[in-house]
Chains A and B, each alone.
Chain A
Amino acid sequence: MNYPIWELYYLNSGTLIAIISVVHVFISHFAVGGGIFLWLTDLKSVNENNLALKSYVRKHIWFFLLLTMVFGGVSGVGIWFIIALSSPWATSILIHTFVFGWAIEWVFFIVEIIALLIYHYKFETLSDKNRLLVAFIYAAAAWLSLFIINGIITFMLTPGDWLKTGNFWDGFFNPTNLPSLVFRTAICIMFAGLFGFVTAVFEKEEKLRQTLLRYCAKWLYIPLPFLLISGAWYFYSIPENARLTNFVLNKQTANAVNVFLISSLLIYLLSLLLVLRSSKIFQRLAVFVLLMIGLSWIGGFEYMREYVRKPYIIYGYMYSPSILASDEEKLNREGFLKHAKWTTIKEVSEKNKLAAGRELFNLQCLSCHTIGGFKNDIIEKTRGLTYLGIISQLYGQGKILDYMPKFIGNEKELEALATFIASLHGNKKHSISEFQPKAEKIEIPPFNLQKDEYVLLAWSTLGEKCITDADKWFSFLYPGCSFQTILIKRGLKPQIISEGIEIDYEVQKGYENPSKHSDFWKYAQFLKDKKIPENVGLTGKGLKGTFEFDREKKIFSVEGISVLPYRDDGTFNPYPLFTIRAIEKSTGKILQRTKLVAPVSTELRCFECHGGKPKWNGIAGISDETAINILRVHDRNNGTKLLENALKGKPMMCQKCHEDFIVKSEGKKGYNSFSASIHGWHANYIPWKDEKACNLCHPNDARGNTRCNRDIHAKMGIGCTRCHGKLDDHTSAILLSQEGTRTAKLLLRNLKPETPIYNIKPRKPWIQQPDCLTCHVGFQKPKENISAFNKWNYDLSELYRNRSENTGKIPCIACHSAPHALYPSFNEYGVNRDNIQPMQYQGTPFPIGSEMKCEVCHKKKMQGSQHHANMLRAFRNKDKLKQ
């Protein structure tokens, strides 16, 4: 931001650095090792009076000089040129801090050059003693120049105490200096052998050639143990965080590691073959292959070294795009462009947004990313992201995957950059219009308060059963609604009937064929490891069937009804109705009949960020495009092959790896639970923290088609976060419950919960939830602005859906209905669609028995709050019904 930007969009300067550096480093290590090689080999030839060996040395010098002095020397200057063009400020710091170090290195360099020229041009005229002395001077000067440059290179990765003192020596003798020096010296020796082969294979006399090759091979093999030991030493001298960031999180490093490891193996195997096989043609060919492998080997190493420094160019001091770490806060606060020298735009406005975005791209992205170019193409990297997706990417950048620097600047600047990047995709805009639910008339089943002997209470255990509906690609929630029911024999002392009856259910017309609308049954064998007959759920339950009696809970229940929100006539309605009947077994008499909704939604708004459109008639479900984009991101960030497998027809259930209580999956050890992963990841990226954020994934968007948070709480303006906490608070609680995973901490470290992190109580997803009584203390009216966040039930038995009232016989949920759909509920698909039972039994949408409607079960008014305190009174918020 201090300097202008060389605007190379196709082949950016970072790529040029890589190209020039890898070639230079390959040759320069040879220049150092080769010096030692020439000196010792020449010494050997003198000691053994071996003229053949001396003649080999003579030839090798010429090759050596042409390669190292010309190509090596100039490409070294080339690195200097290109880093100054690419990262002038960082280069300036390196120059200003170490100018006398560089100058000392230059002295060694000029001594090297003169020594080499004398060694070459005066080889024949110098006495053995003087020649060897010159060779030694060359070798010593070359190694000393490595000694200097090594200190400066390692400084960039581990500046050590320099960060505090700014002292030359603290920077030079930094924590990785020594291990790197030993490692690089070993590389030099190894390369001496490698390049020694080149001259050796051109020796015509076979016996001599073999001797020379064997001699060179020794140079390759002797440093091997040093290479391994110092390599490990070097690796463990790198700060732990840098290792984690770049060897675990950054999958690009894995490519470099692979190239490095494979090349290592190939070098040593091929060189062995080279020595063992005597075919001249093979040897000559092998030598060039070996050199290429050597180049990729050092490329792999240097890439690793570069990667491990990310997101910095000088670790802890300056970020890759030449922004001082110490300026970050100021730039976020005051704006980045305002402080950038080389831009005419100082403040983002609606008019200059695109141009400002380009400036920001140049200043913060271009040093690593191209546009449609050779490497790290930004178009490719952001493919599949919408504008909001790009915003989120920028917002979350550098937080979990901290090999990239965070976006630095204010909100408007972030938007400007997102606008610019989005424009590179041709400004495709998916406008999803607001969905208008059609209210349907509900027929309330009859109930005769005087004559009817039975009350049938039925409920869905969840307020909303979500379904992924992207089964061709992946799934984390498959079809399967669960109902529970009790049959109460009315009377002064009502009885819960469990013997001699059968309770059945049947879906309303039009919903009988979910398999027509979903691929779940097609891919169930991969998703759930078993074939499932069409239209049937995992537990074998279809759209019509009977309840089972649960002896433990003493209620009738049915799990896994495979209903979808798709009606055969093309209507989307996430609240299909089921008719429930209680039948006396002996007589076949219908004792009572009622209805309830199966709240079931496929509204996941992944497309908002990940592109694509809703799958089913453009209304809901995850489309192929969206799903592919999601898998691509998962694969890229986690090294998985989910997309490849899905394309082969083998999609995967997310919970196969990620533990999830609700789908009874144990996942893989060491992995975060599904809930922790998905919340942990997205909380770092989604720029919102309130309900807007929740609604991106949970079907409650006000423009959406489910609007699942539909009970009296929602009506009163109490949204998700009042109970679950804002996104970062909610996520922190879940992440804190993770034990033995390696990434929970990473997901946590950049969250900013409103409740201090040390006060947040861990919460096990699905097992622990916010508790009603946190606000409704003693079943009373809650205090103003109270929040249920951070006080969780102890175990499953304490969950609202499992709890009973004071007598222990009637579940709370039987009278109050499912969470988020408590009576009275306000369903957009029809008034009272969620209130059928209270309307049926008592003619009001309020909880069963409320407002003194004791007669529903007791046949008469009762006294005393038997079921729970504060129940004998009028419903508090009746006025909300009118709104």
Chain B
Amino acid sequence: MQHIPLIPYPDPIPAPAGILILLEQLFFLIHIILINLILGLGLILFFKWKREKNFFLVNKLIAKKIPILFAIGINMAIPALLFLQVTFGHLFYTSSILMGTFWILIIPFLIVAYYSSYVHYKKFDISWIAKYALLLMIVIILYIALMLVNNLSMMELPEKWNAYFTNRDGTIILWNLSSLYPRYIHFIVASVAVSGIFYSLYFSKKDSTKSHEGLKIFAYATITQIIVGIWFLISLPKDIMLKFMGGNGIATFILVFGIVATILSLIFAFKSRLKISLLFLILTLIAMVINRYNLRMFQLEDNLNLSQLKLVPQWDVFTIFTFILLLGIGVIIYMLKIAFSRPNEVRK
């Protein structure tokens, strides 16, 4: 194949690819849920803006959560991106360069979006500026998401890299890739769905109408999502699509599992069984992350063989990392505990 010579030489990996991929996907799952929430909640607030009674009063705390979600969401992108760069680094750096200009713009835009979320919260019920800050934040997240979808699509399709020889400005977007659109929209709709259920959960003990409304948002978004998902599937090259439809046992199973979980969460949502619906949603999300990974491996089939990556294990450092990670989680849990426990201590 003509594109193969372009693929850079990979560097040795310090742990078996499976571990690195597992870590990448785990953190990606957390990251994407958080980003879904920021975008989805943002969209919900934006479309509800002043259209309901006591809008500011009811939603102030949601507005407050967005910057916090932002902080953790960005943070969770780091390990996902880090572990991605170990196994797929040589592909990812290349695709990033091909769209370097758009890719680096993420950084200043993200800073603006992050500050916008603070402006939105601080001025939520005080100034008209809040709404525009929210809009700015949404637009930027939509931009970043498109760039990420483009980057990962390009990373997975080295046959598209020849575009470099006619455009070296770092502005390559795969506009003519038919799966780019459903993949992107799949993310946006997921944001609304995930935020819908979060919304419902948030109000579950405070306001049952709102909670119900959240579930409704979730349900309609999920129905839309099924359509987009089908669109995504059929937009893929036929051989890959067929792998998800019986051609590859595991991939088919995960996809079917995901679809079943989606339908179940939808059914329970209509039945207002929030917690079970949430459980199936989480299962759906896990399945979808695996689907996403399977798609990547199918697309890269000719160009990447994980078992050929040179392994120079660093088990000692890995062990220390695991220990520190557990310690970190422990510390975080401890801090959350003291932060959210009832203030029963006598304050000095």
Binding site for B on A (CB under 8 A): 2-8, 13, 16, 20, 46, 66, 69-71, 73-75, 77-78, 80-82, 84-85, 88-89, 91-93, 95-97, 99-104, 106-111, 113-115, 117-118, 121-122, 125-130, 133-134, 137, 166, 168, 341-342, 344, 362
Q: Decide yes or no whether B98 CB sits under 8 A from chain A.
A: yes
One digit per residue, 1 when the CB lies within 8 angstroms of any chain A CB and 0 when it does not, for chain B 3-22 equals 00111110111110000100
Task: Check B257 for interface membership: any CB of A closer than 8 A.
Answer: no
How close is A208's CB to chain B, nearest CB, in angstroms? Answer: 22
Task: Tell whether, in the assembled complex, residue A113 and residue B85 are in contact, meaning their CB atoms are under 8 Å apart.
Answer: no
> Contacts of A71 on B, CB cut-off 8 Å?
111
**A107 touches which one: B71, B170, B328 (CB < 8 A)?**
B328
From A20, A93, A97, residue with most partner B Cβ within 10 Å: A97
Q: Are B104 and A127 in contact (CB under 8 A)?
A: no
Which one, A6, A70, A104, A362, contacts B320 given CB within 8 A? A104
Interface of A is mostly: helix
Given A3-B97, A100-B318, also A111-B82 (CB < 8 A): no
Q: How far is the CA of A122 from the CA of B342 in the complex (A)?
A: 12
Top 4 A-B residue pairs of the complex, sorted by shortest distance between their CB atoms = A88-B93, A7-B168, A78-B107, A6-B100
Query: Which single member of B71, B96, B345 contacts A117 (CB below 8 Å)?
Result: B71
Interface set, chain B 130-170, CB cutoff 8 A to A = 161, 164-165, 168-170
Bound together, the chains give a CA A341 to CA B6 distance in angstroms of 6
Given known contacts A8-B100, A168-B316, A344-B165, what 8 new A-B pairs fall within 8 Å (CB)? A4-B98, A74-B110, A80-B81, A100-B314, A102-B82, A121-B68, A134-B339, A137-B331
- In the assembled complex, the Cα of A301 lies from the Cα of B76 at a distance in Å of 31
Instruction: Say yes or no: B78 contacts A92, CB within 8 Å.
Output: no
B80 → A minimal CB distance (Å)? 10
Known: A81-B104, A92-B90. A100 touches B110 (CB 8 A): no
Name the contact of B97 in the complex, choosing from A5, A70, A74 (C-beta under 8 A): A5
Minimum distance in angstroms from B104 CB to a CB of chain A: 6
The answer to whether the Cβ of B86 comes within 8 Å of any Cβ in the partner chain is yes
Contact indicator A103/B79 (Cβ below 8 Å): yes
22 A-B pairs, CB-CB below 8 angstroms? A5-B97, A6-B101, A7-B168, A69-B71, A85-B103, A88-B8, A88-B94, A92-B89, A93-B11, A96-B13, A97-B14, A100-B318, A101-B317, A107-B325, A107-B327, A108-B328, A109-B75, A111-B331, A113-B71, A134-B335, A168-B317, A341-B5
Complex contact A96–B325 (CB within 8 A): no
Within 8 Å CB of B318, what residues of A?
Answer: 100
Chain B 62-91 interface 0/1 with A at a Cβ cutoff of 8 Å (1 = within): 000000100110111111011101100110
Task: Give chain B residues whose Cβ lies under 8 Å from the Cβ of A70.
Answer: 71, 111, 114-115, 118
Q: Is B206 in contact with chain A by the CB < 8 A criterion?
A: no
- CB-CB under 8 A from A6, the residues of chain B are 97, 100-101, 168-170
B106 to chain A: closest residue by CB: A81
Given the interface pairs A46-B348, A96-B89, A103-B79, the reply to whether A85 lies near B107 with Cβ below 8 Å is no
Q: Quick one: which of B167-190 are within 8 Å of A by CB?
A: 168-170
> Quick check: is B57 within 8 A (CB to CB) of the other chain?
no
In the complex, the chain A residue whose C-beta lies closest to that of B114 is A70
Cα distance, A20 to B111, chains bound together (Å): 12
Residues of B near A341 (CB, < 8 A) are 5-8
C-alpha spacing A2/B12, complex, angstroms? 15
Q: Which residue of B lies closest to A7 (CB)?
A: B168
Chain A residues with CB under 8 Å of B96's CB are 81, 84-85, 88
Give the docked Cα–Cα distance between A46 and B348 (Å). Answer: 8
Q: Are A81 and B107 interface neighbours, CB within 8 A?
A: yes
Residue of A20, A102, A128, A137 contacting most chain B CB atoms (<10 Å): A102
Instruction: Provide the residues of chain A in CB contact with B339, threshold 8 Å.
Output: 118, 121-122, 125-126, 130, 134
Q: Which of B298-341 contact A (CB under 8 A)?
A: 312, 314, 316-318, 320-321, 324-325, 327-328, 331-332, 335-336, 338-339
List of A residues within 8 angstroms of B164 by Cβ: 4, 342
Q: Which residues in A have their C-beta under 8 angstroms from that of B320?
A: 100, 104
Q: Tell me whether A113 and B75 are in contact (CB under 8 A).
A: yes
**Which residue of A is nearest B343, CB measured?**
A125
Task: Please report the C-alpha to C-alpha distance between residue A80 and residue B317 in the assembled complex, in whole angstroms.
Answer: 21
B347 within 8 A of A: yes
Q: Which residue of chain B has the shortest Cβ distance to A118 in the bound complex?
A: B339
* Nearest chain A CB to B28 CB, angstrom units: 14
Q: How many Å lie between the Cα of A71 and that of B169 in the bound state?
A: 27
CA–CA, A92 to B93, complex, Å?
Answer: 8
Which residues of B approach A to under 8 Å, CB–CB? Answer: 5-9, 11-15, 20, 23, 68, 71-72, 74-79, 81-83, 85-86, 89-90, 93-94, 96-98, 100-101, 103-104, 106-107, 110-111, 114-115, 118, 161, 164-165, 168-170, 312, 314, 316-318, 320-321, 324-325, 327-328, 331-332, 335-336, 338-339, 343, 345-348
Query: Closest chain A residue to B340 by CB distance?
Result: A122
Expressed in whole angstroms, the Cα–Cα distance for A362 and B168 within the complex equals 10
Interchain nearest-CB distance for B65 vs A (Å): 11
Contact of A104 with B321 at beta-carbon distance under 8 Å, contacts A92-B90, A342-B6 already known: yes
The answer to whether A88 and B97 touch (CB under 8 A), given A5-B168, A128-B348, A344-B165, is yes
A125 to B344, CA, bound (A): 10
List, in ascending order, chain A residues with CB within 8 A of B165's CB: 344
A73 to B115, CA, bound (A): 12
Q: Contact at A95–B118, with CB atoms within 8 Å?
A: no
CB distance from B190 to the nearest CB of A (A): 23
Query: Are A85's CB and B89's CB within 8 A?
Result: no
Chain A residues with CB below 8 A from B168, complex form: 4-7, 362
Q: Is there an interface contact between A3 and B335, defined as CB atoms closer than 8 Å?
A: no
How far is A85 from B312 in the complex, measured between Cα atoms in Å?
25
The complex places the Cα of A104 from the Cα of B326 at a distance, in Å, of 11
What chain B residues lie within 8 Å of A91 (beta carbons)?
93
- How far is the CB of A165 from the nearest CB of chain B, in Å? 11
Across the interface, which residues of B come within 8 angstroms of A106, CB to CB?
Answer: 75, 78-79, 82
Q: How far is the CB of B339 from chain A (nearest CB, A)?
A: 4
Q: Given the complex, which residues of A lie within 8 Å of B106, measured CB to CB? A: 81
A41 to B195, CA, bound (A): 40
**A residues in contact with B101, CB < 8 Å:** 6, 8
Contacts of A118 in B (CB 8 A): 335-336, 339
Contact A13 B328 (CB under 8 A): no
Are A110 and B328 within 8 A (Cβ)?
Answer: yes
Q: Which of B118, B169, B325, B335 contacts A66 (CB 8 A)?
A: B118
Q: What CA separation (Å) do A113 and B164 show in the bound complex?
A: 39
Q: B348–A75 contact, CB under 8 A?
A: no
Q: How far is the CA of A730 from the CA of B72 in the complex (A)?
A: 67
* Cβ B332 vs Cβ A114 within 8 A: yes
Least Cβ–Cβ distance between B296 and chain A, in angstroms: 19
Which of A3, A46, A111, A113 is B93 in contact with, Cβ under 8 Å? A3
> Is B314 touching A111 in the complex (CB atoms < 8 A)?
no
Most chain B CB within a 10 A radius of its CB, from A69, A78, A92, A362: A92
B335 touches A100 (CB 8 A): no
Instruction: Decide if A96 touches B107 in the complex (CB within 8 Å).
Output: no
Q: Give CA–CA (A129, B347) in the complex, Å.
A: 8
A85 partner residues in chain B, CB cutoff 8 A: 93, 96-97, 100, 103-104, 170
User: Once bound together, how far apart are the Cα atoms of A107 and B6, in whole Å?
Assistant: 35
CB-based contact B104/A99 at 8 Å = no
List, in ascending order, chain A residues with CB within 8 A of B75's CB: 73, 106, 109-110, 113
> Measured between C-beta atoms, what is the minimum distance from A648 to chain B in Å?
45
Q: How far is the CA of A104 from the CA of B83 in the complex (A)?
A: 12
Residues of chain B contacted by A102 (CB below 8 angstroms): 82
CB closest chain-B residue, reference A96: B11
Partner of B82, one of A7, A74, A99: A99
Chain A: minimal CB distance from B34 (Å): 12
Tell me the smallest distance from the CB of A19 to a CB of chain B, in Å. Answer: 11
Given A46-B348, A104-B324 in contact, is the A96-B86 Cβ separation under 8 Å? yes
Most buried by A among B72, B115, B168, B339: B339
Q: Which residues of B contact A92 (CB under 8 A)?
A: 11, 85, 89-90, 93
Of A20, A95, A121, A125, the residue contacting B89 (CB under 8 A) is A95
The answer to whether A127 touches B347 (Cβ under 8 A) is yes
